[in-house]
Chain A
Amino acid sequence: MSLLEVTDLSVVYEPHGAEPTYAVRNASFALERGEFVGLVGESGSGKSTLGFAITRLSKAPARISGGCILFDGRDIAGIEAEELRRQRQGGFAMVLQSGMNALNPVRSIRNHFGDIFAAHGHVPRDKRRARARELVEKVELPASVLDRYPGELSGGMRQRVSIALALSLEPQLMVFDEPTTALDVLVQHAVMNTIRDLQRAENFTALLVSHDLGVVLESTSRVMVMHDGEIVEDAPAAQILHAPQHEYTRMLLSHYADPRAEVVELPGLAVRGATIETSGGSVAVPSGGRAGRLAHSAIVVDDVTKLYPPPRRGEDPVTAVDHVSFTLEPGQAMALVGASGSGKSTIAKLVTGVERPTSGSVRFGDDRVETLKRRGLRDLRREMQMVFQDPYSALNPLNTVEYTLTRPVVNYSALRGVDARRRVLELLTTVGLTPVEQFAAKLPHQLSGGQRQRVVIARALACDPQVLIADEPVSMLDVSLRAGVLALLDDLRVQFGVSMLYITHDLLSARLVTDHIMVLNRGRVVESGVTAQVLRFPKDAYTVELLDAIPQPARAGGAA
Chain B
Amino acid sequence: MRYILRKLGLLILTAWAAITLNFLLPRLMPGSPADAALAKLAQAGPVSPATRAAIEVQLGVPTGGIGSQYVQYLGNVVHLDFGVSYTFFPQSVSSLVTSALPWTLVMVGLVTILAFVIGTLVGVLAAWKRGTWLDTLPTLSGTFTSAFPYFWTALLLVFFLGYVLRWFPTSGAYGASASPNLSGTFLLDALYHAILPALTILITSLGGWILGMRNTMINTLGEDYVTFAEANGLRNRTVALRYAARNAILPSLTGFGLALGGVVGGSLLVERVFNYPGVGYLLYNAVTNQDYPLMQALFLMITISVLVANFIVDILYGFLDPRTRR
Contacts and interface: CB of A to CB of B under 8 A. Distances in A.
Interface of A: 55, 57, 59, 81, 85-89, 93-94, 96, 98, 100-108, 115-116, 118-120, 149, 151-152, 162, 165-166, 168-169, 312
B322 A149 contact: yes
B326 interface: yes
A85 B228 contact: no
Q: Which 9 A-B pairs rank lowest in CB-CB distance, beginning with the nearest?
A: A88-B233, A101-B224, A94-B231, A102-B228, A149-B322, A104-B225, A119-B234, A85-B233, A102-B224
B242 interface: yes
Contacts of B227: 57, 59, 96, 102
Given A88-B231, A96-B227, 8 more contacts: A85-B233, A94-B231, A101-B223, A102-B224, A106-B320, A106-B321, A119-B232, A165-B228
A108 B323 CA distance: 11
Contacts of B79: none
A87 to B, nearest CB: 8
A118 B232 CA distance: 11
B323 A115 contact: no
B232 A105 contact: no
Nearest to B325: A149
Contact of B225 (A55, A86, A105, A152): A105
Contact of A105 (B230, B242, B323, B326): B323
Contact of A93 (B231, B242, B320, B322): B231
Contact of A116 (B224, B232, B323): B232
A57 B231 contact: yes
Contacts of B247: 104-106
Contacts of A101: 223-225
B246 interface: yes
A57 B323 contact: no
B70 interface: no
10 contacts: A88-B232, A93-B231, A94-B228, A103-B225, A105-B321, A106-B246, A108-B322, A115-B234, A116-B234, A152-B326
Contact of B235 (A57, A85, A94): A85
A544 B184 CA distance: 82
B322 A106 contact: yes
Contacts of B223: 101
A104 B229 contact: yes
B322 to A, nearest CB: 4
Nearest to B323: A151
A312 B233 contact: no
A432 to B, nearest CB: 38
Nearest to B320: A106
A89 B233 CA distance: 7
**In the complex, which of the residues A108, A115, A152 has the most CB atoms of chain B within 10 Å of its own CB atom?**
A115
Contact of A55 (B231, B236, B322, B326): B231
Contact of A169 (B229, B232, B236, B238): B232
B243 interface: yes
A57 B230 contact: yes
Contacts of A106: 246-247, 250, 320-322
Contacts of B238: 115, 118-119
B222 to A, nearest CB: 8
Nearest to A88: B233
Contacts of A86: 233
B326 A162 contact: no
B233 A119 contact: yes
A149 B238 CA distance: 18
A59 B29 CA distance: 59
